Chain A
Amino acid sequence: MSINTLAASIIDGLLIGFVYGIAAMGLTLIWGVMEVINLSHGALIALGMFGALLAVQSFGLYPYLAFILVAAFGLVLGIIVYSIAIHRILDAPDLTTLLSTFAVSMIIIGAGTAAFTTSPRNIEFSLGSVNVGSSIILGTKVVAAIIAIITTVLLYLFLYRTRTGKSIRAVANNRAAAELMGIPSTKILALSFGIGTLLAMGSGALIATLFPFTILSGSTYELKSFVIGVLGGLGNPAGSLVGGLILGFIEGLIPNFMDTSWTPVIEFALFVLILLVKPQGLFGSEE
């Protein structure tokens, strides 16, 4: 194995890592604001994939325009899901919110299976490629990584520079205190869930331009989001991007040394290890 192939596969992994990063950001934002582990995350990613497919195939939209539409739809859908399935049970034990988000996932997957079946789909789309040594890096992956970075920057500007974004952070920090300061916490919680869904569906739309997918593909990315969320610290969106890069790096690196099918073993072993040793994430501070 040459250094060139190694470098190319690592670059490839890192590019995908950015996209994993924004998928995980949706999960971790929701956890950070309302301490809910969103088990419908994977279903929402899959919904984003099919949203993009529908927009591209039926309406002939450009895939990245479809990304914006799907993300906007995600915001609205997230607010609806929050009002129906989350708001009533926000303060109930963990099991309750886990199961209610799982119920949402069942509904989405069920409806999706009825509408699209479980056969694999893909979006026919190419942006050429770049040669790195003897290996090829696809243009779509580069663009997807750039969009993921822009999304992260926008999220950060929103959370740190706007009043609403600051309210979200206040609610995440201490909901009771935020309410006393006059922040409408219900609206803020619904909006946060909406943004989390936006990120999930948006990442789905991006992934759809890279790999073939089925309505069940979301669960793979949901599990990856858990791993990334824990790597970067649950509730820390910037950590997610770094966590995504670490995961992408591992996925680029491992196939060079052993069978690709060992990758999940290593990923999940790392996941459990980090939960045990440093549950606040690699970059989290002691509380």
Chain B
Amino acid sequence: MTSWMDMILVLLILPGFVMLGSSRLQACLGALALQGFLMGVLPLVSAESPITARLALLAAATVALKGVTLPKLLEKAMRRAEVRHEVEPFIGFGASILVGIAALAGSFWVSTRLPLPGSTEPSLAVAIALFNIFVGFTLLVTRKVALNQVVGYLVLESGIYIFGMSLALELPLMVELGILLDVFVAVFVMGIMIFHISRAFDHIDTDRLSTLKE
């Protein structure tokens, strides 16, 4: 089972780089959907015990929410706001990928210093979790289009989710569902906000929102 889990974890690196390196929002959302799908599958393959109804329910909810609903929602917002490209981010796409590589290296280094409780070996899951958190932060800091910031926020949250799963598989179901609900509401609010911002200002460029400061 662990080999399957390792494979999915390695696959989870891929959408991070896609999001860092792509200027097309459509591609970012596709990567987000892929990431959500992989994360949904993760608890199924990492289970050492047979798959319980509880785990199946959790996996189904994650896939449905992160893999389907949220990307669809954001895509709708994208169409309404009529933006397709991230233009002129603070750090270019090539440089972003370099940042991503540095983040990946840093994550693996941190994971060697941060073994999970109960084991001495560095855990791949911790490295991937940290990588996703770093990617999320990078997207939040460098991208100007509000939609991309929502994507960054979701990636950040996915990293935390993976971290939690590597720590304790048996997180209480209620907690997991609570987190899922939180994210759903947050994205919902952000989606509405993006729509209203674009209606009020004819763009969703958060950089230019700073003119609103006192």
Q: Do A and B interact? A: no
Residues of chain B touching chain A, judged by Cβ–Cβ distance below 8 Å, are none
Contacts from A to B (Cβ < 8 Å): none
